[in-house]
A = this chain, B = another copy of it.
Amino acid sequence: MKRRVTLKDVAAQAGVTYQTVSKVINGRARVLPATEARVWSATRELGYRPNHSARSLRAQRSLMIGYSWVPTRPDQTNHILDMFLTSMVEEAEAAGYHLLPFPYREDSDQVSAYGELIDAARVDGFVISSVNYDDPRVAYLQERQVPFVAFGRIAASQHSAYVDVDGAAGLRLATTHLLELGHRRIAVLAWPPGSRVGDERIGGYFDALTAAGLGPDPAWVARGPGTFEFGLAATNEWLAGSAPARPTAIVALNDIQAVGAMHAALGLGRTPGQQISIIGFDDSPMDQYLWPPLTSVAQPIRAAGRKCVEMLVGLLRAQAPPETQVLLAPELVVRGSTGPCPS
């Protein structure tokens, strides 16, 4: 690497002492305005930049924000990571920070990855995601008194800052869309109880049915992993029933389950959007390429990424942030997989 321009170089160029340059640059100038101007013009001419490590050591800040994510299975994709990271990286840079991504560790080890970064003073705070009930990271970061913002809801009793997308509102939108298309036998592909995200989302399905005066039929609530295989198997079982026992529409807690449902229907010669309606959740980029394209609930991921960093920077600057709990509204993207209830 080329030799860096140092304070001494600037001093020589400006014809002043090293100490004078240091005072001017660190904003503790008690020097004549003309001298100060000479110093600044020398820094510009030489392209001087303060050394980050020195600056952060003086400030006792790293100007870094830690972030870790759960790696996806090799055959899956985390289609929101690109959007979430890009929006966080941009918002951080605008505030003079950088993001420090670090590897996810399983279970009990997970908290130690956070502890090591805190101990080594490599980060000033964290954005955490994939937050679940009793997430050990929340208690740990509170105990260490390190600022953080969660992408995902945290119990109100914990008084922590979070940004979340209203999953219940998403399922209400999806279920209401099906009701408006005339469907009454609406099944749901859900996850096992006990996941924060899953419990919130399915709540919206129940809300919409109740509001329409329909009692949810337990036979039309299938709970299992958020996989293609589960969506396929559960839908095959529903469609094997007699006509009055078959749902005319299916809403899923994620896109992958919905794609499994589509394959089950297609395999039985039932075209989604015609003989059966299917809705996913996530609005994965693949949805537009499916046959037919999949109606899905879209989350405002870029807005969430920006908001997480904006709130964290507010905490780091010890400003009371204007909001500490932000709930963003999802949107329904209607495509070819939903249509009027067949009579």
Contact = CB atoms under 8 A, between A and B. Distances in A.
Interface stretch (A16-24, A98-106, A175-183, A203-211): A98-106
Most buried by B among A57, A119, A262, A285: A285
A266 to B, nearest CB: 6
B259 A289 contact: yes
Contact of A288 (B53, B75, B103): B75
A223 B49 CA distance: 46
Contacts of A1: 118, 144-147
A100 B98 contact: yes
Contact of A290 (B85, B145, B288, B289): B289
Contact of A285 (B76, B101, B116, B288): B76
A288 B286 CA distance: 11
A77 interface: yes
A165 to B, nearest CB: 16
A62 B51 CA distance: 10
The 3 closest A-B pairs by CB, nearest first: A286-B286, A49-B119, A77-B285
22 contacts: A1-B146, A1-B147, A49-B119, A49-B120, A49-B121, A52-B120, A52-B122, A53-B121, A69-B86, A75-B288, A77-B285, A77-B286, A78-B82, A81-B85, A85-B85, A93-B102, A99-B100, A256-B289, A263-B289, A263-B291, A290-B291, A291-B291
Given A1-B147, A98-B101, 16 more contacts: A1-B118, A1-B144, A1-B145, A2-B145, A52-B62, A53-B53, A53-B57, A77-B79, A77-B82, A86-B103, A89-B102, A90-B103, A98-B100, A228-B289, A286-B289, A289-B290
